[in-house]
Amino acid sequence: MDNTPGPRAGRKEWTALGVLMLPLLLVSMDVSVLYFAIPSISEDLEPSATQQLWILDMYGFVLAGLLITMGALGDRIGRRRLVLVGAAVFGLASAAAAYAHSAELLIAVRALLGLGGAALMPSTLALVRNLFHDEKQRAKAVTLWTAVLTTGISLGPVVSGLLLEHFWWGSVFLINVPAMALLLALVPFLVPESSTGRPSTGRPSTGPAATEHPAPEHPATGGRPRFDLLSSALSLGALLPVIYGVKEWARHGYAPVPALGIAVGLLFGVVFMRRQRRLEHPMIDLGLLGRRAFGGPVLANLLAMFATVGMAVFFSQYLQSVLGQSPLTAALWSLVPAAGVAVTAPTGAALAQRIDRAYVMGGGFALSACGFLLITQLQTDSPLWYTLLGGSVYAGGLVAAMTIANELALGAAPPERAGSAAAVLESGQELGGALGMAILGSVGAAVYSRDMADGVPAGVPHADAVRETLGGAAAVASELPGAVAETLLTAAREAFTHGMGIAAIGAAVAMSGAGLFSVVFLRGAGRAAAPVPGEPAAPDHRPASHEAAL
């Protein structure tokens, strides 16, 4: 194993990173871009309630279900090639979605968007692994990747609100088309191929063709290993039912069908894992997943997304339904926590070059726990600045911890398996987000319902809807006389804020646990070796396993 420092990236590699951030931003935006567009879509296409839910969820389901498949495919056929295929599919599906004339067609093209997004996301992170061989530069690149991913999810509603003020709902899809066309034009010239059939030499490229490597060769036949379609189907069968079941459980409470979906998904997951152990070229390297320098960050990222997505639902509703802001104003204010990210993410990356990354991750999670504790103190009349302060603190801590986790895991993965490793990381994030929405959302909903059981004025119609959600209470209040409506809304806002506070306690506990896990379990796996000034770096005599690659 060559332990010499990798070559430093130049202008070409940084330009290539900028190009790769474009699809990442758009793919992450599409997770949330329809939040404000659904009323317009419903008025135009008249979907049923079930179809409306599938319009919202189909993209995320397909994206999550295909991440592992696409990560492994990129390792075999080349990640640049897969980025180009994903960009073409994403652009064409976006154009089709913009002009969809029926709910059924829109659902179908949203599935195609998920397919294109699944091809793009793990490939962009895997290409970062191969573009940046120097640890410090790779840390900065992964920081940017993580920040763009989280910013895109927050930016989706803002872009949607701005476009819908001037254009029809299809415009939220059409903005993807020129961006994908630009990607198709620039990637072949700026981004080298990185499907490595043998360990990378680490030599700088002189052009796309100079760094292009063949896919891994089968030791017996000398040809490329076959892509395992059965493993792909099993991974899809494992992830989709679990994520569907968790989301439905969060939305409607316990029901037999979601519970059965989770059980079926877990069964497929067991079969998938057993098959990976027997394959010569598995889709997921279980040995890598079992190493603490990779498996630990996967779990840490899952917990981070658990808190991020679980609280995002409350945060946006609080701004709109409790503080009374318009959707666009609330969406714009929700970008303020990015200021915390802008400070803590690069600070964490710099600290990770000097001290053990486990301590930096633990500090990030501790900071996020403090932010969630600030959220627990919110009241219905709390000033906006306090709300944004709490959001900035927890978002900054989370992104700092996620950045270190991504960089640690990506560095622990061999370059030829970077696509699969990135897909596992992102699949864990998707599952964590679904669990956060289910568990924290259910906690908040339970507190709201309990508080409203005695808070509904006598004689109010549709009491069940009032006790179920704040939105239901607002809809009923709009049809009531002024004094009764105000009493009802006050009680509903207080109940919602109380539920959000209890959910924030759950998030703070989860982040405290993630911080403790990082320090105890990952200590030593992410130690940064700072060279002594004026002396050459000492050779690394650790075993040639990728567990301690960083």
Same domain as 243, residue 134: no
Same domain as 182, residue 75: yes
Q: Rg of the chain over CA atoms, in angstroms?
A: 24
Query: Mean of the pLDDT values across residues 360-380?
Result: 91
Tell me which of 516 and 134 has the higher pLDDT: 516
| CB within 8 Å of 219: residues ≥ 6 apart | none
Q: Which of 135-144, 185-194, 242-251, 352-361 has the highest mean pLDDT?
A: 352-361
Per-residue pLDDT band at 219 (split at 50, 70, 90): very low
Decide if pLDDT at 113 tops 80: yes
pTM above 0.85, yes or no: no
Please list, residue by residue across 49-86, b when 16 or more beta carbons sit within 10 angstroms of its beta carbon and e when fewer do.
eebbbbbbbbbbbbbbbbbbbbbbbbbbbbbbbbbbbb
Q: What is the pLDDT of residue 96?
A: 93
List phi, psi (to 5°) of 318.
-60, -45
List phi, psi (to 5°) of 47.
-75, 155
CA distance 315 to 321: 10
Q: State both tokens at 123.
A: 């490939």
Q: State both tokens at 6.
A: 């990798």
Q: Is 90 a domain residue?
A: yes
Q: What is the pLDDT of residue 114?
A: 86
Same domain as 252, residue 132: no
Q: Is 421 a domain residue?
A: yes
- DSSP, collapsed to helix, strand or coil, labels residue 49 as helix
Measured in whole angstroms, the distance separating CA 463 from the mean position of its chain's CA atoms is 37
Same domain as 474, residue 522: yes
Sign of the C-alpha dihedral, residues 79, 83, 85, 86?
positive
Decide if pLDDT at 200 tops 80: no
Angle subtended by helix axes 384-412 and 103-131, to nearest 10: 60
Same domain as 237, residue 100: no
CA distance 208 to 190: 7
Q: For residue 179, which amino acid is it?
A: A
Q: What is the pLDDT of residue 504?
A: 92
Q: What is the pLDDT of residues 535-549, one digit of tens each?
A: 344 333 333 333 333
Same domain as 314, residue 256: no
Q: Is 108 a domain residue?
A: yes
The residue written with tokens 């439905």 in the block is: 248
Q: Is 146 a domain residue?
A: no
Report whether 12 contacts 22 (CB < 8 A): no
CA distance 548 to 550: 5
Q: Is 55 a domain residue?
A: yes
Q: What is the pLDDT of residue 301?
A: 83
Same domain as 431, residue 302: yes
Lowest-confidence segment of 164-178, 342-356, 387-401 by average pLDDT: 342-356
Same domain as 188, residue 332: no
What's the domain count of the chain?
3
Decide if pLDDT at 223 tops 50: no
Mean pLDDT, all residues of the chain: 75
- Domain span at residue 262 reads 229-282
Residue 99 half-sphere exposure toward CB, CA atoms < 13 A: 5
Q: What is the pLDDT of residues 469-502, one digit of tens each?
A: 677 777 777 777 777 778 888 888 888 899 889 9
Same domain as 187, residue 234: no
Q: Is 151 a domain residue?
A: no
Query: Mean of the pLDDT values across residues 399-426?
Result: 74
Q: What is the pLDDT of residue 338?
A: 72
Same domain as 450, residue 346: yes
Query: How many residues are present in the chain?
Result: 550
Q: Is 323 a domain residue?
A: yes
| CB within 8 Å of 149: residues ≥ 6 apart | 24, 28
Supply the CATH number for residue 164's domain. 1.20.1250.20
Decide if pLDDT at 320 tops 70: yes
Same domain as 392, residue 271: no
Report whether 310 contacts 436 (CB < 8 A): yes
Percent of the chain exceeding pLDDT 70 equals: 77
Q: Is 187 a domain residue?
A: yes
Same domain as 379, residue 262: no
Residue 59 half-sphere exposure toward CB, CA atoms < 13 A: 24
Q: What is the pLDDT of residue 252?
A: 65
Q: Which of 150, 174, 194 is where one domain is finished?
A: 194
